[in-house]
A and B are shown apart, each in its own frame.
Chain A
Amino acid sequence: MNGNDEQERRAFELGCAVGLGFTKPLGLMRPGSVGRILAVQCGDDKRDIERGLLEMGFVEGACVEVLHHGFLGRDPLAVRINQSMTVALRRCEANAVLVGPLLDELSARPVYRREHGIA
């Protein structure tokens, strides 16, 4: 596994997406919208939340689809990750996840290629 390439690719992807104005925190996405996670970042005081998010599958490069919102204040969110697991989380944690468009041509991930058609 080449960590440097991976990081460079990610930085490039993030740069493109930010430059094109396509990025959004997960908490602001509407139900039915899809995207790819560009970054999972919490402040240094919230490393536990970052770990929690990572452990539930919110990791850079994963595809996300917002399925539902709660009926009050559109909170919490139900998010499908990589078409395999659905996770409920509150908007305030979801905003630590930065999502960009599904950029197939930039992605070097054949594993989950199939889903993009669905998205």
Chain B
Amino acid sequence: MTVGILAAEGVQPIRIALVGPPNCGKTTLFNTLTGGRQKTGNYPGVTVERKSGRLRTPAGHTVEVLDLPGSYSLRARSPDEAITRDIVLGRQARETLPDAIVCVTDATNLGQHLRLLLELRQLGRPLILVLNMMDIARRRGCQISSEVLARQLGIPVVTTVAMRRNGVHELLGQLDALLAQAPTTAAVPMGDWVEPSPEAIRAYHREVERLLQDAVIHEGTPERLTRQLDRVLLHPVAGPLILLALLFLMFQAVFSWAAAPMDWIDGGVTGLQHWLGAHMEESLLKSLLVDGIVAGVGGVVIFLPQILILFLFILLLEDSGYMTRAAFLMDRLMSAVGLNGRAFIPLLSSFACAIPGIMAARTIAHPLDRLVTILIAPLMTCSARLPVYVLLIAAFVPNTLVWGSIGLQGLVMFGLYATGIVGALVVAGVLRLTLLRGGRQPLLMELPSYKWPSPVNVLLGLWERARIFMRRIGTIILSLMVVLWFLSTFPAPPAGATEPAIYYSFAGLIGRTLEPLLAPIGFNWQIAIALVPGLAAREVAVAALGTVYALSGDEGAMTEALTTALAQSWTLATALALLAWYVFAPQCLATLAAVRRETNSWRWAAFMFVYLMTLAYLAAFITYRVALALGLGGS
């Protein structure tokens, strides 16, 4: 909207870029500067998130602020950091060179952060240095003379406390002053920029040391709390136990806290279906709306509470600084199969849904490490598999206790999760030894000081996740649902049909064609048909099974009836084979689309599909045959 108005007036907004190392409070400063006036999108061609926002300076300039990915140096090590470098150098396609660069640093860690500023100063662009987190520095008795720094560096220096609006006013004032003097169109040729050599970095270090010798009046005492916390949280015994406990709490929360909101959504969807059913004429349109769109989209929206709760935990752990500790603790385990400790975070997200997990793999710098992480992310049991697991376990696994206190059903569920994790580790190990050999990225990861998570950051992050998820539902999933409804509705059954309608449809045709292929793993034609719509989203298979077994009624009653129907018509061997299939099968087109977007190639998406299909078939085959041999084939 604003863009349109500005364009109409012919006013080009002034653009500034926020640059800074990770953990310097840059994003918090960005949130304070722009508030809710933010836009997020993607840079063309790559999937790095582009965050921008608008603000108005005291002098009345409209400024577009670009929040660039955190980077320790202009020598980019990951796709995120490459964006920072390219924008600062004016090399990024469809992005104009920023009019000014604001370099954000952590005042308590200037010794490391000023180096980036020196690199930026080499570019000769209008530049402001922000000493952020001044409150923490002062509390530790650290005194820094920003005047001395400004004089030595020859650029404006502002001190801020990003969590509050302190210093933001001064920053805007300095920005005005800088914009008033600097010709904003000056194009400095930066094509001859080269990556700093090790010697150049050493020289930067020496210069930082010299600067700080003059500018630091009091060093202050180093932080104690982080050290003391780390003594417990990184303890060789207590550390892993605490991490396990945290993960347990997180999954507990995902499944128990989300139950109520999921029931509401379920109730809302069912209510809508009833209302549509009662108020619409019997027609194809009604069928499309009720059975296709509302049922299909409702079946996916229902996972929003679980995804939000999982992300709440992940955002809190990230913002507090614990996530890097988790990566530290897990690094050795993961490096045994050729993964990086950083892969822990994307894989954790994948338990909610593989798509955000695959997107989170961007923080892994090395392309091969990143690719392996993306390829195994779908093996983490996502929440869409739950309805299928729940249905089959309820139908076939007796609700008894083993070893006194552990429920057998829960144990089977745990086994399915564990199978996925072990499978992922084995696949990663095999990939690392064969296709994706070599090129390991060093860990080299900062463990930032602990801090209280900022509510604004967490809320904005959650809102962002919800928005992305809902947008996907509105686009990809909605259109897939329409296609699937079409496939399972047409052609209509002939007069005097004896089988359920879906049997005669295209989906039925596909299912029956697939049946001979699936017979060795114990699947009947009903399962084969249900797997076809289940390709779009796993949980749709439950609804499809209901259709195949010609059941109707609201979802609760249907699930119950379906449990009985399945228990009567399937053998235990078939049920176990289907569970094994579901642990591996790539039954989610949206995930494949995400892989293609993140790797920028259909080749890897196709590779993932083929390898997961093969694994699923093998797992189901072995399970079925072993179960038959154990005499579980009789119904």
Chain A residues at the B interface, C-beta cutoff of 8 Å = 1, 6, 40, 47, 49-57, 59-60, 67-73, 75-76, 78, 81-90, 92-93, 109-111, 114-115, 118
Kindly list chain B residues whose C-beta atoms are within 8 Å of the C-beta of A59: 201-202, 205
Residue of A nearest to B220 (CB): A114
* Minimal beta-carbon separation of B595 from chain A (angstroms): 27
Bound CA span A42–B341, Å: 23
Residue B145 is within 8 A (CB to CB) of chain A in the complex: no
Residue B169 is within 8 A (CB to CB) of chain A in the complex: no
Residue B491 is within 8 A (CB to CB) of chain A in the complex: no
Bound CA span A84–B237, Å: 26
Is A84 a contact of B222 with CB atoms below 8 Å?
A: yes
Kindly list chain A residues whose C-beta atoms are within 8 Å of the C-beta of B446: 56, 85-88
Q: Of residues 434 to 477 in B, which have CB atoms within 8 Å of A's CB atoms?
A: 442-448
**Which of these, B75, B198, B332, contacts A70 with CB under 8 Å?**
B332
* Minimal beta-carbon separation of B249 from chain A (angstroms): 20
Is A68 a contact of B206 with CB atoms below 8 Å?
A: no
Kindly list chain B residues whose C-beta atoms are within 8 Å of the C-beta of A81: 112
Kindly list chain B residues whose C-beta atoms are within 8 Å of the C-beta of A89: 442-445
Is B213 a contact of A111 with CB atoms below 8 Å?
A: yes
Bound CA span A110–B324, Å: 32
Interchain residue pairs with CB less than 8 A apart (15): A47-B198, A51-B73, A55-B115, A57-B111, A67-B227, A70-B332, A78-B230, A78-B447, A84-B112, A88-B331, A92-B442, A93-B442, A109-B209, A111-B209, A115-B222
Is A76 a contact of B205 with CB atoms below 8 Å?
A: no
Is A76 a contact of B331 with CB atoms below 8 Å?
A: yes
Kindly list chain A residues whose C-beta atoms are within 8 Å of the C-beta of B115: 55
Chain B residues at the A interface, C-beta cutoff of 8 Å = 72-73, 75, 77, 108-109, 111-112, 115, 196-198, 201-202, 205-207, 209-210, 212-213, 216, 219, 222, 226-227, 230, 234-237, 239-240, 324, 327-329, 331-333, 335, 341, 442-448
Q: A85-B446, A86-B446, A87-B444 are in contact. Are A1 and B329 (CB under 8 A)?
A: no
Is A54 a contact of B445 with CB atoms below 8 Å?
A: no
Residue of A nearest to B113 (CB): A85
Is A67 a contact of B230 with CB atoms below 8 Å?
A: yes
* Minimal beta-carbon separation of A82 from chain B (angstroms): 6
**5 closest A-B pairs by CB:** A72-B332, A71-B236, A86-B447, A83-B222, A54-B201
Is B328 a contact of A70 with CB atoms below 8 Å?
A: yes
Is A88 a contact of B222 with CB atoms below 8 Å?
A: no
Is A57 a contact of B112 with CB atoms below 8 Å?
A: yes
Not counting A51-B73, A67-B227, A84-B112, a sample of 8 additional A-B residue pairs whose C-beta atoms are within 8 angstroms of each other reads: A1-B207, A71-B332, A76-B332, A78-B230, A84-B222, A86-B446, A88-B445, A89-B442
* Minimal beta-carbon separation of B342 from chain A (angstroms): 10
Is A88 a contact of B240 with CB atoms below 8 Å?
A: no
**Which of these, B109, B196, B328, B341, contacts A85 with CB under 8 Å?**
B109
Is B329 a contact of A71 with CB atoms below 8 Å?
A: yes
Kindly list chain A residues whose C-beta atoms are within 8 Å of the C-beta of B222: 83-84, 115, 118
Kindly list chain A residues whose C-beta atoms are within 8 Å of the C-beta of B239: 71
Bound CA span A9–B424, Å: 52
* Minimal beta-carbon separation of A95 from chain B (angstroms): 12
Kindly list chain B residues whose C-beta atoms are within 8 Å of the C-beta of A85: 109, 111-112, 446
Is B442 a contact of A49 with CB atoms below 8 Å?
A: yes
Residue among B115, B202, B212, B341 having the largest count of chain A Cβ atoms under 10 Å: B202
Q: A83-B222, A88-B445, A110-B213 are in contact. Are A55 and B206 (CB under 8 A)?
A: no
Residue of B nearest to A46 (CB): B442
Kindly list chain B residues whose C-beta atoms are within 8 Å of the C-beta of A47: 198
Kindly list chain A residues whose C-beta atoms are within 8 Å of the C-beta of B236: 69-71
Q: A70-B329, A87-B447, A111-B212 are in contact. Are A55 and B73 (CB under 8 A)?
A: yes
* Minimal beta-carbon separation of B228 from chain A (angstroms): 11
Is A54 a contact of B234 with CB atoms below 8 Å?
A: no
Bound CA span A71–B235, Å: 8
Kindly list chain A residues whose C-beta atoms are within 8 Å of the C-beta of B331: 70, 75-76, 88, 90
Bound CA span A34–B115, Å: 24
Is A84 a contact of B447 with CB atoms below 8 Å?
A: no
Bound CA span A111–B207, Å: 13
Is B198 a contact of A54 with CB atoms below 8 Å?
A: yes
Is A78 a contact of B112 with CB atoms below 8 Å?
A: no
Q: A84-B222, A85-B446, A93-B442 are in contact. Are A111 and B216 (CB under 8 A)?
A: yes
Kindly list chain B residues whose C-beta atoms are within 8 Å of the C-beta of A55: 72-73, 75, 115, 201
**Which of these, A67, A69, A84, A90, contacts B442 with CB under 8 Å?**
A90
**Which of these, A6, A51, A73, A88, contacts B324 with CB under 8 Å?**
A88
Kindly list chain A residues whose C-beta atoms are within 8 Å of the C-beta of B219: 111, 114
Kindly list chain B residues whose C-beta atoms are within 8 Å of the C-beta of A69: 236
Is B443 a contact of A90 with CB atoms below 8 Å?
A: yes
* Minimal beta-carbon separation of B582 from chain A (angstroms): 31
Is A88 a contact of B328 with CB atoms below 8 Å?
A: yes
Bound CA span A76–B342, Å: 13
Is B111 a contact of A82 with CB atoms below 8 Å?
A: yes
Residue of A nearest to B236 (CB): A71
Kindly list chain B residues whose C-beta atoms are within 8 Å of the C-beta of A56: 72, 112, 444, 446
* Minimal beta-carbon separation of A114 from chain B (angstroms): 5
Residue of B nearest to A51 (CB): B198
